[in-house]
Chains A and B, each alone.
Chain A
Amino acid sequence: MTSMEETIHHHIGDDLLMGYSAGTLPEAFSLMVAAHLSLCDTCRAAVAAYDAVGGALIEDDGVEMTEGSIEHALARIELASAPEPVPERKRCAVLPAPLADYVGGDLASVKWRPVGMGVRQAILPTSGKATARLLYIPAGASVPDHGHGGRELTMVLQGAFSDEIASFARGDVETADESIVHTPIADVGADCICLAVTDAPLRFRSLIPRLIQPFLKI
């Protein structure tokens, strides 16, 4: 466990880590950050540092409480019952706990839908401001060549993929934006499972994927 983070080479950008700490990201992006922090102590420490910024800001100003609030509080803690034990979260070798929560179990619980050429996806239930999906890419297969209308983050959960830019293994996050057109290809060693989060629809470059895009919700 200790040296797990050293195997991760592609991290999440500081603006998203800060947004996660502030609690202001769209749900899908928070899910991506939570999944990555589950595997990456470097980014977990960075978020803790941004939490410390929040702590420092909160210290510096305030608004007086009403008369008698402290007596009210002391009465409340008197009544406070012992905290309920937090239910053990589901453990899964591939899905970090926050993803297992969204899927409702391990990999076997994922409701995959084919999207063509052997690639499958499962859209996770998040708020509509951004979309989170699990992607299943058979070993050696590729995701159609696409550009992006907004920001797309892709994290590897199993196997590995490479595109024109770099190689990505478990825990690595690729960040793509408007300027990037890429064709991720799963490594031949194993089927690749990823979490992908987008704040705008992908733009596929060839006509056929573009025609079916509305039906795939990507």
Chain B
Amino acid sequence: MLIALEPIDETPAPLLATGSAGRAMKKAGRRTLGKEEATPDAGEWVRLMLRIRDERDRAAFAALFRHFAPRVKGFLMKSGADAALAEECAQDVMTTLWNKAHLFDPSRASVATWIFTIARNRRIDLLRRDRRPEPEDLPWGPEAEPDQEDALALQQESERLRAALKALPEAQRELIERAYWGDVSHSEIAAETGLPLGTIKSRIRLALDRLRHAMK
């Protein structure tokens, strides 16, 4: 599908790679996170989620909170919430993660993706954005325990996608970020940014098919 891209080539890449969101934060005098040494991989987050689901493990929750709560807070601030509201809302999102741990499916989403969807929905209430109806639920049965191999592959695809996003030219990445923070119309955004969405789509298709088969 062809959508007009902004003339990326004419935009000189900044020497220091800070996105528009990063700049906005600095303008407002906010501290962003420093460099973390050795970020755990997506698989580790999944293991922590399953420990919450199966054992109500508070230490696992604390580890996920330390990593993700600041990220949710940052996301909400970039979307226009002030620091106090964003902090309160990040608390809500993390409480939802604890309460809905049984709904997390590692063959369909990474932990980061799942948290993004919770934060997005919370943002709609918070900033009084337009309502966003959900599709019909997928049939969910007792046999729908996700396949381990599917889950592993999906988590790997998610990491690959993240790496690809990081490697994008600054102008393209900025455009995508602005689309998700909600201050740009999507007709401006190219779906053709070279992100490896095809593989992740087929992964998810596989998980959906499996789910539907389990219900037959």
Contacts and interface: CB of A to CB of B under 8 A. Distances in A.
Contact of A25 (B22, B130, B208): B130
B70 A63 contact: yes
A38 B212 CA distance: 13
A22 B179 contact: yes
A50 B72 CA distance: 17
A63 B29 CA distance: 11
Contacts of B212: 1-2, 41
A58 B116 contact: yes
A95 B133 CA distance: 14
A37 B86 contact: no
B137 interface: yes
B119 interface: yes
A56 B161 contact: yes
A33 B135 CA distance: 8
Interface in A77-103: 77, 80, 83, 89, 96-98, 101-102
A64 B70 contact: yes
Contact of B135 (A46, A69, A73, A96): A96
Given A60-B166, A83-B99, A55 B114 contact: yes
Contacts of B120: 21-23, 54
A25 B213 CA distance: 32
Contacts of B131: 27, 30, 126-127
Interface of B: 1, 3, 19, 21-22, 25, 30-33, 58, 61-62, 65-66, 69-75, 77, 83, 86-87, 90-91, 94-95, 98-100, 108-110, 112-117, 119-121, 123-124, 129-137, 139, 157-158, 161-162, 165-166, 176-177, 179-180, 182, 186-187, 189, 191, 195, 197, 200-202, 204-205, 208-209, 212-213, 215-216
